[in-house]
Amino acid sequence: MELTDSQFEQYQTEGYLVVENALSTESIERVKTRLREYTHGDREPETFTSQLEPRVERGELDVDEEGDAVRKFEGLGMVGEDDVFAEIAHHDTITSVVEQLLGPNLKLLRSAAMFKPPSVGSEKGLHQDAAYYPIQPMDHVTTWIALDDATPENGCMTVIPGAHKDGILNHAAVEYDTDIVINDTKYDDADLVELPMDAGDVLFTHCLTPHYTAPNSTEQWRRALIMSYMDSRSRFTKPVDALEPWVDSVYIQGEEFPGCV
Protein backbone atom coordinates (compact mmCIF):
# COMPACT_ATOMS: atom_id res chain seq x y z
CA MET A 1 0.00 0.00 0.00
CA GLU A 2 1.27 3.45 -0.94
CA LEU A 3 0.43 6.23 1.51
CA THR A 4 -0.88 9.46 0.06
CA ASP A 5 0.84 12.72 0.93
CA SER A 6 -2.10 13.64 3.19
CA GLN A 7 -1.91 10.31 5.05
CA PHE A 8 1.82 10.68 5.61
CA GLU A 9 1.31 14.26 6.78
CA GLN A 10 -1.44 13.23 9.18
CA TYR A 11 0.79 10.65 10.85
CA GLN A 12 3.63 13.14 11.20
CA THR A 13 1.50 16.02 12.52
CA GLU A 14 -1.18 14.18 14.52
CA GLY A 15 0.68 11.02 15.54
CA TYR A 16 -1.78 8.52 14.14
CA LEU A 17 -3.33 7.20 10.94
CA VAL A 18 -6.25 4.82 10.30
CA VAL A 19 -6.05 2.62 7.20
CA GLU A 20 -9.49 1.22 6.40
CA ASN A 21 -10.03 -2.34 5.12
CA ALA A 22 -6.36 -3.17 5.56
CA LEU A 23 -7.06 -6.83 6.35
CA SER A 24 -9.55 -9.13 4.70
CA THR A 25 -12.55 -10.64 6.44
CA GLU A 26 -10.89 -14.05 6.07
CA SER A 27 -7.72 -12.91 7.83
CA ILE A 28 -9.71 -11.37 10.68
CA GLU A 29 -11.81 -14.50 11.13
CA ARG A 30 -8.67 -16.69 11.25
CA VAL A 31 -7.27 -14.56 14.05
CA LYS A 32 -10.52 -14.54 16.03
CA THR A 33 -10.86 -18.31 15.65
CA ARG A 34 -7.31 -18.86 16.86
CA LEU A 35 -7.80 -16.54 19.84
CA ARG A 36 -10.96 -18.42 20.75
CA GLU A 37 -9.02 -21.68 20.68
CA TYR A 38 -6.65 -20.25 23.27
CA THR A 39 -9.29 -18.67 25.51
CA HIS A 40 -12.09 -21.24 25.29
CA GLY A 41 -10.56 -24.34 23.69
CA ASP A 42 -7.73 -26.73 24.35
CA ARG A 43 -4.88 -24.79 22.74
CA GLU A 44 -2.32 -23.77 25.37
CA PRO A 45 0.18 -20.91 24.91
CA GLU A 46 3.78 -22.00 25.40
CA THR A 47 5.80 -18.80 25.22
CA PHE A 48 3.37 -15.95 25.78
CA THR A 49 1.38 -14.93 28.81
CA SER A 50 -2.27 -14.18 29.50
CA GLN A 51 -3.95 -11.89 32.00
CA LEU A 52 -7.47 -11.89 33.44
CA GLU A 53 -9.60 -8.83 34.05
CA PRO A 54 -8.67 -7.48 37.52
CA ARG A 55 -12.26 -7.43 38.83
CA VAL A 56 -12.70 -11.10 37.96
CA GLU A 57 -9.33 -12.04 39.43
CA ARG A 58 -10.26 -10.26 42.68
CA GLY A 59 -13.60 -12.08 42.84
CA GLU A 60 -15.64 -8.91 42.39
CA LEU A 61 -17.22 -10.10 39.13
CA ASP A 62 -18.32 -13.55 37.99
CA VAL A 63 -18.23 -14.92 34.44
CA ASP A 64 -19.61 -18.14 32.98
CA GLU A 65 -16.21 -19.23 31.61
CA GLU A 66 -12.71 -18.07 32.45
CA GLY A 67 -12.20 -17.31 28.75
CA ASP A 68 -14.82 -14.59 29.07
CA ALA A 69 -12.53 -12.73 31.46
CA VAL A 70 -9.23 -12.71 29.54
CA ARG A 71 -7.89 -9.15 29.36
CA LYS A 72 -4.89 -9.73 27.10
CA PHE A 73 -2.29 -12.06 25.64
CA GLU A 74 1.22 -10.66 25.55
CA GLY A 75 4.59 -11.71 24.21
CA LEU A 76 6.66 -11.95 21.06
CA GLY A 77 6.21 -15.70 21.41
CA MET A 78 2.79 -15.20 19.84
CA VAL A 79 4.54 -14.58 16.53
CA GLY A 80 7.28 -17.15 17.02
CA GLU A 81 4.88 -19.85 18.18
CA ASP A 82 1.75 -19.37 16.08
CA ASP A 83 1.58 -19.08 12.30
CA VAL A 84 -1.74 -17.18 12.37
CA PHE A 85 -0.22 -14.33 14.38
CA ALA A 86 3.03 -14.49 12.41
CA GLU A 87 1.08 -14.00 9.19
CA ILE A 88 -0.36 -10.74 10.55
CA ALA A 89 3.04 -9.52 11.76
CA HIS A 90 4.39 -9.96 8.21
CA HIS A 91 1.24 -8.82 6.40
CA ASP A 92 2.20 -6.84 3.29
CA THR A 93 -0.25 -3.99 3.87
CA ILE A 94 0.89 -3.46 7.45
CA THR A 95 4.63 -3.75 6.84
CA SER A 96 4.49 -1.58 3.72
CA VAL A 97 2.87 1.26 5.68
CA VAL A 98 5.35 0.89 8.54
CA GLU A 99 8.23 0.88 6.07
CA GLN A 100 7.07 4.22 4.69
CA LEU A 101 6.95 5.61 8.23
CA LEU A 102 10.18 4.11 9.63
CA GLY A 103 12.28 2.82 6.75
CA PRO A 104 13.00 -0.62 5.26
CA ASN A 105 14.82 -2.24 8.20
CA LEU A 106 12.22 -3.45 10.68
CA LYS A 107 12.02 -5.51 13.84
CA LEU A 108 8.97 -6.38 15.89
CA LEU A 109 8.98 -5.00 19.42
CA ARG A 110 5.63 -6.21 20.68
CA SER A 111 2.80 -8.58 19.85
CA ALA A 112 -0.37 -8.74 21.93
CA ALA A 113 -4.07 -9.46 21.78
CA MET A 114 -6.33 -7.09 23.68
CA PHE A 115 -9.76 -8.36 24.73
CA LYS A 116 -12.69 -6.35 26.01
CA PRO A 117 -15.28 -9.05 26.76
CA PRO A 118 -18.94 -7.98 26.69
CA SER A 119 -19.86 -6.00 29.83
CA VAL A 120 -16.59 -7.15 31.44
CA GLY A 121 -13.77 -5.38 29.59
CA SER A 122 -12.32 -2.56 31.68
CA GLU A 123 -10.73 0.69 30.63
CA LYS A 124 -7.08 1.18 29.82
CA GLY A 125 -6.02 4.57 31.14
CA LEU A 126 -4.30 7.31 29.16
CA HIS A 127 -0.70 6.34 28.42
CA GLN A 128 2.12 6.35 25.87
CA ASP A 129 3.55 3.10 24.54
CA ALA A 130 7.06 4.54 24.70
CA ALA A 131 6.84 4.61 28.51
CA TYR A 132 7.08 0.81 28.59
CA TYR A 133 10.22 0.44 26.50
CA PRO A 134 13.79 1.70 27.13
CA ILE A 135 14.49 2.35 23.46
CA GLN A 136 16.06 5.17 21.48
CA PRO A 137 14.98 6.83 19.33
CA MET A 138 11.40 7.03 20.57
CA ASP A 139 9.73 6.59 17.20
CA HIS A 140 8.45 3.03 17.05
CA VAL A 141 5.05 2.44 15.45
CA THR A 142 2.20 0.57 17.13
CA THR A 143 -0.40 -1.03 14.88
CA TRP A 144 -3.81 -1.63 16.50
CA ILE A 145 -5.81 -4.06 14.38
CA ALA A 146 -9.58 -4.08 14.92
CA LEU A 147 -10.89 -7.66 15.05
CA ASP A 148 -14.43 -6.50 15.85
CA ASP A 149 -16.20 -3.26 15.07
CA ALA A 150 -14.84 -0.83 17.68
CA THR A 151 -17.21 1.87 18.96
CA PRO A 152 -17.17 4.47 21.75
CA GLU A 153 -19.55 2.20 23.67
CA ASN A 154 -17.39 -0.94 23.55
CA GLY A 155 -13.98 0.70 23.95
CA CYS A 156 -12.61 2.00 20.66
CA MET A 157 -9.23 3.67 20.66
CA THR A 158 -9.14 7.31 21.78
CA VAL A 159 -6.10 9.51 21.08
CA ILE A 160 -4.81 13.03 21.67
CA PRO A 161 -3.81 14.26 18.19
CA GLY A 162 -0.46 16.03 17.98
CA ALA A 163 0.54 15.28 21.57
CA HIS A 164 3.36 12.99 20.43
CA LYS A 165 5.32 16.19 19.81
CA ASP A 166 5.24 16.91 23.56
CA GLY A 167 7.74 14.12 24.27
CA ILE A 168 7.65 11.48 26.98
CA LEU A 169 5.32 12.24 29.91
CA ASN A 170 5.32 11.11 33.55
CA HIS A 171 3.55 7.81 34.21
CA ALA A 172 2.57 5.96 37.38
CA ALA A 173 1.39 2.40 38.04
CA VAL A 174 -2.29 1.92 38.92
CA GLU A 175 -3.41 -1.66 39.61
CA TYR A 176 -0.16 -3.48 38.80
CA ASP A 177 3.35 -2.71 37.57
CA THR A 178 2.54 -2.90 33.87
CA ASP A 179 -0.71 -0.89 34.16
CA ILE A 180 0.77 2.58 33.92
CA VAL A 181 -1.07 5.82 33.15
CA ILE A 182 -0.08 9.42 32.62
CA ASN A 183 -0.22 11.05 36.05
CA ASP A 184 0.60 14.68 35.31
CA THR A 185 -0.94 16.17 32.19
CA LYS A 186 -2.16 19.43 30.76
CA TYR A 187 -4.72 17.60 28.62
CA ASP A 188 -8.43 17.35 29.34
CA ASP A 189 -11.44 15.54 27.88
CA ALA A 190 -11.80 18.12 25.11
CA ASP A 191 -8.44 17.02 23.69
CA LEU A 192 -9.52 13.38 23.28
CA VAL A 193 -10.60 12.13 19.85
CA GLU A 194 -12.46 8.82 19.56
CA LEU A 195 -11.57 6.61 16.60
CA PRO A 196 -14.43 4.19 15.77
CA MET A 197 -13.17 1.46 13.44
CA ASP A 198 -14.60 -1.45 11.50
CA ALA A 199 -13.15 -4.94 11.79
CA GLY A 200 -10.16 -5.11 9.45
CA ASP A 201 -9.19 -1.46 9.86
CA VAL A 202 -5.70 -0.77 11.23
CA LEU A 203 -4.64 2.17 13.39
CA PHE A 204 -0.97 3.22 13.19
CA THR A 205 0.16 5.31 16.15
CA HIS A 206 3.43 6.97 17.07
CA CYS A 207 4.79 5.51 20.31
CA LEU A 208 4.54 8.93 22.02
CA THR A 209 0.87 9.50 21.11
CA PRO A 210 -1.22 9.40 24.33
CA HIS A 211 -4.17 7.04 23.98
CA TYR A 212 -6.93 5.46 26.02
CA THR A 213 -9.74 2.92 25.70
CA ALA A 214 -13.03 3.04 27.62
CA PRO A 215 -14.74 0.06 29.29
CA ASN A 216 -16.96 -2.20 27.20
CA SER A 217 -20.52 -1.44 28.27
CA THR A 218 -22.13 -3.46 25.47
CA GLU A 219 -22.98 -7.11 24.80
CA GLN A 220 -20.52 -7.26 21.89
CA TRP A 221 -16.86 -8.27 21.96
CA ARG A 222 -14.19 -5.68 21.21
CA ARG A 223 -11.00 -7.51 20.38
CA ALA A 224 -7.84 -6.10 18.84
CA LEU A 225 -4.42 -7.39 17.83
CA ILE A 226 -1.32 -5.27 18.43
CA MET A 227 1.93 -5.42 16.50
CA SER A 228 4.61 -2.81 17.28
CA TYR A 229 7.52 -2.19 14.91
CA MET A 230 10.84 -0.38 15.30
CA ASP A 231 13.75 0.54 13.07
CA SER A 232 16.43 -2.17 13.29
CA ARG A 233 18.94 0.60 14.08
CA SER A 234 17.15 1.38 17.36
CA ARG A 235 19.03 0.77 20.61
CA PHE A 236 18.01 -0.48 24.01
CA THR A 237 19.04 2.08 26.63
CA LYS A 238 19.59 -0.51 29.37
CA PRO A 239 22.05 -3.42 29.46
CA VAL A 240 20.52 -6.63 28.15
CA ASP A 241 20.56 -8.25 31.60
CA ALA A 242 18.64 -5.27 33.02
CA LEU A 243 15.81 -5.29 30.47
CA GLU A 244 12.28 -6.09 31.59
CA PRO A 245 11.11 -9.58 30.55
CA TRP A 246 8.81 -8.23 27.85
CA VAL A 247 11.52 -6.19 26.08
CA ASP A 248 12.98 -8.06 23.09
CA SER A 249 12.85 -8.05 19.30
CA VAL A 250 11.93 -10.28 16.37
CA TYR A 251 13.32 -9.83 12.85
CA ILE A 252 10.79 -8.73 10.23
CA GLN A 253 12.68 -7.44 7.17
CA GLY A 254 15.73 -5.60 5.86
CA GLU A 255 19.18 -5.31 7.44
CA GLU A 256 20.30 -5.90 11.01
CA PHE A 257 22.97 -3.76 12.69
CA PRO A 258 25.62 -4.63 15.31
CA GLY A 259 24.94 -3.15 18.74
CA CYS A 260 21.31 -2.45 17.92
CA VAL A 261 18.06 -4.19 18.84
Which CATH number fits the domain that encloses residue 242? 2.60.120.620
C-alpha distances (whole Å) from 11 to each of 78, 127, 138, 193, 256 are 27, 18, 15, 15, 26
Q: With the C-alpha atoms ordered 253, 44, 214, 133, is the resulting torsion angle positive or negative?
A: negative
**What pTM was estimated for this model as a whole?**
0.96
What does the mean pLDDT of the chain come to?
A: 95
What's the full length of the chain, in residues? 261
Nearest CA to 120 among 48, 58, 179?
58
Whole-Å CA distances, 227 to 166, 193, 249: 24, 22, 12
Instruction: Write out the residue range of the structural domain in which residue 97 sits.
Output: 5-253
Tens digit of each residue's pLDDT (9 = 90 or more) over 194-229: 999 999 999 999 999 999 999 999 999 999 999 999
CB-CB contact of 131 with 99 (8 Å):
no
Rg (CA), the chain: 17
Q: Is residue 121 part of a domain?
A: yes
Classify residue 261 as exposed, middle or buried by CB count within 10 Å of its CB (0-12, 13-18, 19+).
buried
Residue 258 placed within a domain: no
> Looking at the 3D structure of the chain, how many domains does it have?
1
- pLDDT of 8 reads 98
pLDDT at 135 > cutoff 90? yes
Query: How far apart are alpha carbons 29 and 4 in whole angstroms?
Result: 29
State what percent of residues in the chain have pLDDT above 90: 90
Does residue 260 fall inside a structural domain? no
- Express each pLDDT in 155-200 by its tens digit: 999 999 999 999 999 998 876 656 788 987 789 889 999 999 999 9
Query: Residue 259 falls within a domain, yes or no?
Result: no
**Residue pLDDT, tens place only, 232-243:** 999 999 998 999
